[in-house]
Amino acid sequence: MTQTEIVDNILHELTLAKHKHQTFPADVVKMVAIMSEEAGEAVQVANDIDNATTYDERKLLKECLIKELSHTAAMCIRTIENL
């Protein structure tokens, strides 16, 4: 993936999140908790990759990891926007 594709993917995820969840907490701890929850999901997938036994399983999980990392980055942006 190129940097442009990565940023486009993150911005796409940000747009989807804003559409799905139109309000965002005003409390900074709650904002960061949402971002951290996404990061936790990325850690779970990374752990699954580490335990994967086949190439196909790792390939699929890496796609899931990219999605979770994009969600995390989108929530980082959304948190910064709302500070």
Number of domain units in the chain: 1
Domain that holds residue 62: 3-81
Check residue 5 and give its pLDDT.
97
| 3-state SS, one letter per residue, for 2-69 | CHHHHHHHHHHHHHHHHHHCCCCCCCHHHHHHHHHHHHHHHHHHHHHHHHCCCHHHHHHHHHHHHHHH
What residue type is assigned to position 45 of the chain?
Answer: V
Give the percent of the chain with pLDDT over 70.
Answer: 100
Instruction: Grade residue 64 by pLDDT with cuts at 50, 70 and 90.
Output: very high
The predicted-structure confidence for 20-52, as pLDDT tens digits, reads as follows: 999 999 999 999 999 999 999 999 999 999 999
Check residue 73 and give its pLDDT.
98
pTM (2 decimals)?
Answer: 0.92
